[in-house]
């Protein structure tokens, strides 16, 4: 385990833009600091920290040090008068190019069913895994092809709803910031024609097709073994029987939404594939229409893997209707979206359980001219109001992010990046650069400008996560973890045995430990990576 201690000087360890604002955050009673060029050892800037802010979530008094005057592309470190030093960081015109590539390449490492070769995987390869057919629960005689897609997290389960969220984030990143994805050829399929981000999403979409029940159009909720394998088990060693859990309305709505989205995005590259996506989306939607009152999903007897239970499916139905309307222009989908929007469910959330924000984005991105004016105005006003709330909260926070003390939950870094996504959506619809500045502060937090001074992205930063709860990283006998994985982050609920033993009494933002046994703070998932790709793409475009 990496030693956990508070660091006096915290920075974004991936770096800062030459032209942008540059802040370091200090704890304790700091006054003067200096910026040192690591190549020459010379001091290039001296400054004084501002008045301290008492930051309750972190349990610290936080001072801000501004060094925006340093603009020359180089590698630097910050030191205070007591000899404390920050991790190294770069200043560059576009410092987040490698970060974005790493966050996106992580999805390649999550691939299931194929060999990851040394040419593309480096030392983190493994043999083809999970090639056997899966059994449909309730129909033991029915065996289906289950191969492909992405492993969901630190385990090897595959889940329709969380997978759809991850794909949606990546497709939105491509739609809004296509320039950020130019010129990257890092996958076996890279052909110079279809961008890598779309090639990678296709891996998950191809698997999602297999999750749609033949005949009905409904979508199986998840595909897992009965129990989690041991923490050192490599993917190809996980040979327990696979099971398709029953269909759910939430999974079917997510499937319809992401397939309608994919139909639109892939059409310029592969019309036949786009048509297949749209047909699958329509079939799923027809099932939803025929099943207006479906119970929420719970694990079937004998299945103990992650449940991803969801009692509320109106948000997924809203997303599906809005995406189908955006892609087809069909009035039946517009009518359904208008009716669903009248119902009380979260319309600005981008989490796997509350997908209403994706419906709102689809409706707004379709344009005012195509919309019902009142609904367009209402959704836009609501989105901007939520972004303004996040902005206000960030300005009060010592580490300049939007999380309240109670928001440091299991997967808090997903909230950090989802909130940054929403702020960037507000920038898109309002033109207000303050929202982008605030979103960038959230990225700074993720990359090390936090009370623990840790970069929550493996492989990026001098003090990055080294021991994620991620079976391939534990079992592959490689010292470095698989790179580009976003760790879950602080969880004040202390939901696993390791943190219960080691973190009692810690402030919310300190409830994290870089240990493989801490699944509630240090696991990784595809849908924590995906919003981070979106946010990083904004600052690479």
Active-site residues: which are they? Answer: 469, 514, 523
* Residues with Cβ within 8 Å of residue 45, at least 6 apart in sequence: 34, 35, 67, 69, 70
Strands (E), 52-174: 53-55, 60-66, 74-80, 89-92, 134-136, 139-144, 158-159
Alpha carbons within 13 angstroms on the beta-carbon side of residue 158 total 29
Closest CA to 409 of 497, 307, 514, 490: 490
Taking each helix axis from N to C terminus, what angle separates 526-538 and 412-430, rounded to the nearest 10 degrees? 30
The sign of the dihedral angle between the CA atoms of 216, 223, 158, 293 is positive
Residue 41 burial (10 A CB sphere; 0-12, 13-18, 19+): exposed
> What would the two tokens of residue 229 be?
């394998």
The Cα–Cα gap between 91 and 14 comes to 9
Q: Where are the alpha helices (DSSP H) in 342-457?
A: 356-365, 373-396, 412-430, 433-446
* Residues with Cβ within 8 Å of residue 439, at least 6 apart in sequence: 420, 421, 423, 424, 427, 535, 538
**How far is residue 181 from each of residues 199, 284, 504, measured CA to CA in Å?**
12, 31, 43
Total length of the chain:
541
* Residues with Cβ within 8 Å of residue 332, at least 6 apart in sequence: none
């Amino acid at each position: 385990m990496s030693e956990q201690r508070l660091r006096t000087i915290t920075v974004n360890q991936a770096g800062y833009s030459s032209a942008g604002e540059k802040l370091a955050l200090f704890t304790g009673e700091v006054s003067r600091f200096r910026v040192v060029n690591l190549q020459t050892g010379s001091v290039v800037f001296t400054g004084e920290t501002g008045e301290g802010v008492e930051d309750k979530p972190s349990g610290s008094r936080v001072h801000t040090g501004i060094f925006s005057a340093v603009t020359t592309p180089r590698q630097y470190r910050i030191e205070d008068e007591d000899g404390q030093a920050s991790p190294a960081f770069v200043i560059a015109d576009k410092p987040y190019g490698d970060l974005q590539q790493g966050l996106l390449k992580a999805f390649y490492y999550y691939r299931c069913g194929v060999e990851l070769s040394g040419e593309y995987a480096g030392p983190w390869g493994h043999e083809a895994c999970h090639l056997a057919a899966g059994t449909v629960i309730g129909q033991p005689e029915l065996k289906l092809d289950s191969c492909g897609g992405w492993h969901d997290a630190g385990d090897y389960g595959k889940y329709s709803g969380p997978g759809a969220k991850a794909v949606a984030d990546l497709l939105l990143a491509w739609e809004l910031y296509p320039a950020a994805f130019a010129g990257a050829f890092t996958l076996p399929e890279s052909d110079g024609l279809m961008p890598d981000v779309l090639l990678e999403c296709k891996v998950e979409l191809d698997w999602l097709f297999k999750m749609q029940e033949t005949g009905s159009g409904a979508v199986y909720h998840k595909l897992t073994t009965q129990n989690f394998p041991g923490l050192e088990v490599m993917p190809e060693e996980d040979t327990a029987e696979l099971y398709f859990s029953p269909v759910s309305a939430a999974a079917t709505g997510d499937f319809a939404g992401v397939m309608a989205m994919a139909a639109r995005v892939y059409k310029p590259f592969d019309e036949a594939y786009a048509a297949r996506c749209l047909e699958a989306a329509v079939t799923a939607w027809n099932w939803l229409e025929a099943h207006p009152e479906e119970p929420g999903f719970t694990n079937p007897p004998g299945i103990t893997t992650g449940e991803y239970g969801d009692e509320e499916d109106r948000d997924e139905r809203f997303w599906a209707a809005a995406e189908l309307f955006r892609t087809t222009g069909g009035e039946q989908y517009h009518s359904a979206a208008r009716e669903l929007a009248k119902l009380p469910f979260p319309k600005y959330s981008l989490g796997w359980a509350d997908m209403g924000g994706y419906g709102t984005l689809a409706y707004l991105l379709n344009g005012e001219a195509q919309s019902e004016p009142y609904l367009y105005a209402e959704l836009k006003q609501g989105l901007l109001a939520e972004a303004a709330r996040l902005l206000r909260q960030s300005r009060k926070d010592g580490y300049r992010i939007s999380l309240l003390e109670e928001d440091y939950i299991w997967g808090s870094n997903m909230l950090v990046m989802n909130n940054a996504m929403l702020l960037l959506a507000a920038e898109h619809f309002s033109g207000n650069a303050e929202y982008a500045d605030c979103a960038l502060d959230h990225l700074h937090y993720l990359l090390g400008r936090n009370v623990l001074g840790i970069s929550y992205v493996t492989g990026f930063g001098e003090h990055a996560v080294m021991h994620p709860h991620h079976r391939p990283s534990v079992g592959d006998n490689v010292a470095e973890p698989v790179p580009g994985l976003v760790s879950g982050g602080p969880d004040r609920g202390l939901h696993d045995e390791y943190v219960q033993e080691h973190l009692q009494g810690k402030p919310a933002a300190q409830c994290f430990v870089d240990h493989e046994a801490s699944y509630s703070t240090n696991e990784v998932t595809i849908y924590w990576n995906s919003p981070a790709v979106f946010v990083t793409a904004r600052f690479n475009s």
